[in-house]
Chain A
């Protein structure tokens, strides 16, 4: 197993680490039993993500995918963030080992969970299907 330079860069110097106390949406996915938990905090203004922070418990690829995913949605409209796929995160990191793909799935799900929380808090109506994912996340999920 080998990590790309991009993964190592984001693992060693992760971007957007931390919490947002007055976040507009917070999403947490994963579980301790499986060894990875991701928590995303979003600050949203006029439908635009103005700030994003994450806290992650997990391996190097879990930290790197969190970092990359937050970079990819920073400053984006919420609607765009919802379109972010785990595949896009993997590509932006120049690939992940097959056994680590589930980390990228977790990153995608964490963002979606945070957006849903934002929608719920603000009474925004949304299509459930948009958030259709298995919260108990599967390991070994392929792209």
Chain B
């Protein structure tokens, strides 16, 4: 059996998205800036995509800027706001300890340029406490940036409440919603969001395309100088097929949102229940406030990379936050942020599902994981030591 369970890394493009993209390559291949009919067809395709996405997020089409993806959107939103607010003497930014590197590294960049950054604790369940946020906001706070849902452990933040606090205190609020868009209901108006980053390939759209929602009242500085694309803010001929594909994928995801959420939660909970039967295993992240398709677990005494490569051999594609998969010394900063000791964090496994996954596939995972864990534990001096310490050996 083949089970692709790494949808948080990327998804397979949907047939709907692909079908929407094909005419952009072969029929509407003109430059949207050209005035002739072939160009105008492309112009309309991009305009329609923008309207479609704006409708889903509940904003104006003028508030959607197409980008190359989540990282670009995060960089643009955070650096721009920092630049804008620094002029008003505000050089303090609040975020969390377990943001995506696109956010954390951007904050590091700003720190080197004189900004002060407060990273909120995310506690054991991977969710910030609103009181911590309230206490962290200062007179000179320029921006609060908190991810909607965590890419590794799937915990979902109280975005609406965070946004409300920011509104009340007059602080701009950005959210990296790369893992949430197309997977959770989002309404930028009701959720009090000023800026939001999204990425097409996380919901069965194409790779290399994303968008930044930025509230009209914020004067977003230009990212790329040149032509008049993206209302003069990001020059360069639009990636028409990708933009159209992303919009089609998002529409499909949004149309099926409730059904998908229900189905994925069932698969998720089934897998978690099944794998928790493995001794000395644990679930990472909140069990309730959680992405419908995210399973994140740790198994003591085993190392994540070995686990995921053995899983690949039996046809299951997953991911891990172990040091060895990150190519660095430390295991994932996300797992360390929720308080896991290094040696436990090294044994992490993330399975992320999409609506194409089935309960049969979940059963296959539940059947395949335990013998692999057992095999790795049998050759693990760490496991041997843990067993001795517990008096089990």
User: How far is B376's CA from A77's CA once the two chains are assembled, in angstroms?
Assistant: 30
Q: Which residues of A are found within 8 Å of B343, using beta-carbon distances? A: 32-33, 35
Instruction: Answer yes or no: A36 CB below 8 A from chain B CBs.
Output: yes
Across-interface contacts of B379 in A (CB, < 8 A): 14, 17-18, 54-57, 63
Secondary structure at chain A's binding surface: helix, strand, loop or mixed? Answer: mixed
Interface size on A, residues (CB 8 A): 29
Contact A59 B380 (CB under 8 A): no
A4 to B346, CA, bound (A): 23
A88 interface hit (Cβ, 8 Å): no
For the complex, is A118 an interface residue (Cβ under 8 Å from B)? Answer: no
Inter-chain contact A37/B382, CB cutoff 8 Å: yes
A59 lies within 8 A of B329 (CB): no
- A68 on interface, CB distance cutoff 8 Å: no
Residues of B with C-beta under 8 A to A33: 342-343
By secondary structure, the B interface counts as helix
Contact B305 A32 (CB under 8 A): no
Q: In the docked arrangement, what's the CA distance between A11 and B323, Å?
A: 18
Q: Nearest chain-A residue to B327 (Cβ)?
A: A99
How far apart are the CA atoms of A62 and B327 in the complex, in Å?
14
CB contact list, B332-382 vs A, under 8 A: 342-343, 346, 376, 379-382
Bound state CA distance, A13 and B301, in angstroms? 20
Nearest-neighbour CB distance to chain A for B179, whole angstroms, equals 24
Contact, CB under 8 Å: A60 / B309: yes
Contact with B along A21-58 (1 / 0, CB 8 A): 00000001000111111110000000000000011111
Q: Is A83 close to B, CB under 8 A? A: no
Q: Which B residues touch A140, using CB under 8 A?
A: 329
- Determine whether B331 belongs to the interface, using a CB cutoff of 8 Å to chain A: yes
Interface bracket on B: 20 to 34
Q: How far is the CA of A56 from the CA of B303 in the complex (A)?
A: 10
What chain B residues lie within 8 Å of A56 (beta carbons)?
Answer: 379-381
Q: Which residues of A contact B342 (CB under 8 A)?
A: 32-35
A58 contact set on B, CB distance < 8 A: 303, 306, 324
Known: A57-B301, A59-B305. A28 touches B329 (CB 8 A): no
Interface residues of A in 100-138 (CB under 8 A from B): 100
B303 touches A35 (CB 8 A): yes
B1 at the interface (CB under 8 A from A): no
B347 to chain A, nearest CB (A): 9
B302 interface contact, C-beta 8 A? yes
Residue of A14, A36, A58 most packed against chain B (CB within 10 A):
A58
Verify if B65 is at the interface (C-beta below 8 Å from A). Answer: no
CB neighbours of A63 from chain B (8 A): 306, 379
Cβ B381 vs Cβ A34 within 8 A: no
| Bound: A63/B331 CA distance, A | 18
Q: Which residues of A lie under 8 Å from residue B383 when comparing CB positions? A: 57
Contact of B323 among A28, A35, A38, A61 (CB under 8 A): A35
B187 to chain A, nearest CB (A): 40
Decide if A11 touches B327 in the complex (CB within 8 Å): no
Q: How far is the CA of A143 from the CA of B381 in the complex (A)?
A: 26
B384 CB-CB contact with A under 8 Å? yes
Q: Residues of B contacting A99 with CB < 8 Å?
A: 327-328
Docked complex Cα distance between A60 and B346 (Å):
13
Closest A residue, CB atoms, query B386? A32
Compute how far the CA of A140 lies from the CA of B331 in the bound complex, rounded to whole angstroms. 15
Contacting residue for B380 out of A18, A34, A55, CB 8 A:
A55
Is the beta-carbon distance between B329 and A1 smaller than 8 angstroms?
no
Q: A11-B306, A58-B306 are in contact. Are A35 and B381 (CB under 8 A)?
A: no
Interface string of B108-123 (1 = CB under 8 A from A): 0000000000000000
Contact of A39 among B325, B376, B381 (CB under 8 A): B381
Give Cα distance in the complex from A36 to B331, angstroms: 12
Known interface pairs A57-B383, A60-B309. Does A36 touch B303 (Cβ–Cβ under 8 Å)? yes
Instruction: Tell me if A35 and B306 are in contact (CB < 8 A).
Output: no
Q: Which of B40-60 contact A (CB under 8 A)?
A: none
Assembled-state Cα–Cα distance A36/B347 (Å): 11
| Distance from B306 Cβ to chain A, minimum over Cβ atoms (Å) | 6
Contact present for B322 and A59 (CB under 8 Å):
yes
Residues of A contacting B313 with CB < 8 Å? 12
Does A59 lie within 8 Å of B381, measured CB to CB? no
- Are A1 and B380 neighbours in the complex by a CB distance under 8 Å? no
A17 to B52, CA, bound (A): 58
Q: List 15 A-B contacts (CB under 8 A).
A: A12-B313, A18-B379, A35-B331, A35-B343, A36-B324, A39-B381, A55-B381, A58-B303, A59-B304, A59-B322, A60-B305, A60-B306, A60-B309, A63-B306, A99-B328
- Chain A interface residues toward B at CB < 8 A: 1, 11-12, 14, 17-18, 28, 32-39, 54-63, 99-100, 139-140
A-B pairs, top 9 by smallest CB distance, nearest first, are A59-B324, A32-B343, A59-B305, A57-B380, A35-B346, A57-B382, A39-B381, A33-B342, A99-B327
Given contacts A1-B327, A34-B323, A60-B305, 13 further A-B contacts (CB under 8 A): A18-B379, A33-B343, A37-B381, A37-B382, A39-B381, A55-B384, A56-B379, A56-B381, A57-B301, A59-B305, A62-B306, A63-B306, A100-B324
